[in-house]
Structure 1
Amino acid sequence: MPYVFYPPGVKVIAVRMTLEGKSRDVIRKALGFQISNQSFNRWRELYKQTRRFIQNPEEYEHLGRPRTLSSEDCTFMLQLVRNEPGLFLDEIREKLYDATGTLLSVESVHENLVNNLSITLKKAETLNSQKCLLKKYRYVAQMSFYPANYLVFTDESAICDRALLRTHARSPCGTPAARYIVRQNPERFGILPAISINGIIALTVRVDTYTGIKFEHFLKWLLLPRMNKYPGPNSVLVCDNARYIEAICDEFGVLVIYLPPYCPELNPIELCFANLKSHLRRTQALSVTTQPEWLICRACVKVMTACLCRKLYRHCGYLVPSLNRPTTPRPC
């Protein structure tokens, strides 16, 4: 007979009626359950031995293969992975044996991590140990007073053709996949944009990276003339810590706010760079073009749209107003 679940109250009443001398057919009819004879015998025997109607779950017999790790071993492995998440399986195996005396194979360590502890291997996110959460939350509290249309973000990034090669390729089963470098000595381009909630405000691309003097020139002649005095739209410049730009921003009446160190998740332009490089990696246009600066500028305008900037502002936690789109009346 297949397993049938009976509520605890049914078991109690069935055993008591049995002790009172009621027949099993009467009990079945009174309770509305087709209780098997094996169940009657098992419940009554349990009551005779333990004076309980329901067995303690801790006394159940465990079916199947017993686990290779005890609760203490599982606790140790969880704490070990929490403290050192980058350990290899053989290193976890050695540390487990040294601490608890439990010796497992590498395959068993992997099986216990995945199936019993729900710990899987994934690409690790790189975090800086000098990141200060106090400065981050202080910045978040400060920015809660500024509307998103006030904020302009700027930062620089580097683009190199070799770094934009596609990382995966296809080949027949059992054979390696290859990728080819078109330019042996590709140039390194520096890109310096500034974005608002409505898209790109200023942009410059050049060979090599940007120095402090070049960044100051970009602010004075390209970005700040296109911003407004504070308070107002596009009147707050948010960038990395660069104290020497405060005097220039004061001349234009622009407020400067510095990002907390090592917090790229608060800068939407960092996500713009990721989308830009993904676009260039997909098109592979830098490998064949003869005008890379113009191509990068065109890709920036195509990728860093107002729609994307609005989404990234909201993703980073800034106060983005909702769009009041006109609704068309439905036909009757």
Structure 2
Amino acid sequence: MSKSSVTRIINIYEKWACVTNPYKGISGRRKLFSRNDMYILQNLIRDKVNRYLNELVSEMENLTGKRASIATLWRSLHYLEITRKKLQKKAYEKSEIIRAHYLGIIGEHYTPNQLIFIDESTKDERSLSRLYGYSPRNIRACKKVVFVQGKRYTILPALTLDGFVAVDVFEGACDKNKFVKFVLDQVIPVMNPYSGNNSVIIIDNVRIHYDDDLISPLEGLGCHVIFLPPYSPDYNPIETAFSIINHVLNVIMILWMLVMIQYILY
């Protein structure tokens, strides 16, 4: 830094108590969009998150009368810290009101030790395929994987505050008869009349679960049957258990491969 620059900074600091002149205008090329225009751009993104850049250019021209290039619009989004991400799709039928009502009922009328959650998960040879990998810049990360489905297995567990109290694993998909049989044969024996432990069964809001052969025996025992809100698997803690199981299976596969490599080499 030159002596004149240091002198200029000292003079500015002595005058304004900061190292830049607070009343000096912004240097550089004048921006096309004003602050109000940037608010309009934010609202456009908030209103519809999956617009293309050329669509945003047209919308901004209609609303502000200013025609920007795609590069200028992209820089404006970057300035607003708005980035392009993989779109997370949510079911239109998902109702936050119904979900809030469900949480209110569970929180007001039941305790954790009363709840027993049931859900099924299906896996095949493709389930352990990893979605991400590493490669040099500008080179795709490729790996040969199994495309054929092969044998499919279903795990059907019941989860309580103490862990899994019942589980069934079978080949193929889960249908109504298999689900009802699992509940009658393995879950009901560990349940109690309300308001004892394991007295409230919570299951997904799907067609195969709405069956008198399932609900009548549970209600006859004095248990409560509650269905999750539509499209709300995140309210079932068994989904977290499935994620942990999947992670463990991945680790076991890695260890098995290392053992096989050592066996072949040595």
Q: TM-score, normalised by structure 1?
A: 0.64
Task: Give 1:102 deviation, angstroms.
Answer: 2.1
Determine helix, strand or coil for the equivalent of 2:154: strand
1:123 to 74, 86, 103: 86
Task: Give 1:249 deviation, angstroms.
Answer: 0.6
Task: Give 1:238 deviation, angstroms.
Answer: 0.8
- TM-aligned CA distance change 1:98 to 1:284, over 3 Å: farther
How does 1:118-197 map onto structure 2 within 5 Å?
118-144=81-107, 145-182=109-146, 184-197=148-161
Task: Kindly indicate whether the alpha-carbon contact (under 8 Å) linking 2:121 and 2:154 is maintained by their aligned counterparts in 1.
Answer: yes
* Ranges in structure 1 where 5+ consecutive residues have no aligned partner: 8-32, 34-38, 40-56, 289-332
Task: Kindly indicate whether the alpha-carbon contact (under 8 Å) linking 2:124 and 2:149 is maintained by their aligned counterparts in 1.
Answer: no
Q: Deviations over 1:149-184 (max 9, x none)?
A: 111111112212224311122334554322122574
Structure-2 separation of matches of 1:133 and 1:213: 32
Which residue pairs with 1:4 in the alignment? 13
CA RMSD of aligned residues (A): 2.7
Which residue pairs with 1:270 in the alignment? 239
Task: Give 1:132 deviation, angstroms.
Answer: 1.8
Structure-1 separation of matches of 2:249 and 2:74: 38
Structure-2 separation of matches of 1:225 and 1:260: 26
Task: Kindly indicate whether the alpha-carbon contact (under 8 Å) linking 1:165 and 1:284 is maintained by their aligned counterparts in 2.
Answer: no
2:64 to 81, 87, 100: 100
1:251 to 220, 232, 245: 220
Task: Give 1:237 deviation, angstroms.
Answer: 0.5
The number of aligned residues is 237
Instruction: Please identify the structure whose Cα radius of gyration is greater.
Output: 1
What percent of counterpart residues are identical? 29
Structure-1 separation of matches of 2:146 and 2:88: 31
How does 1:199-278 map onto structure 2 within 5 Å?
199-241=163-205, 242-244=209-211, 245-278=214-247
* Ranges in structure 2 where 5+ consecutive residues have no aligned partner: 1-7, 258-266
Task: Kindly indicate whether the alpha-carbon contact (under 8 Å) linking 2:201 and 2:223 is maintained by their aligned counterparts in 1.
Answer: yes
Task: Kindly indicate whether the alpha-carbon contact (under 8 Å) linking 1:166 and 1:282 is maintained by their aligned counterparts in 2.
Answer: no
Stretch of structure 1 that moved more, 146-155 or 234-243: 234-243
Which residue pairs with 1:113 in the alignment? 77
Q: Deviations over 1:269-317 (max 9, x none)?
A: 12222333343345447x99xxxxxxxxxxxxxxxxxxxxxxxxxxxxx
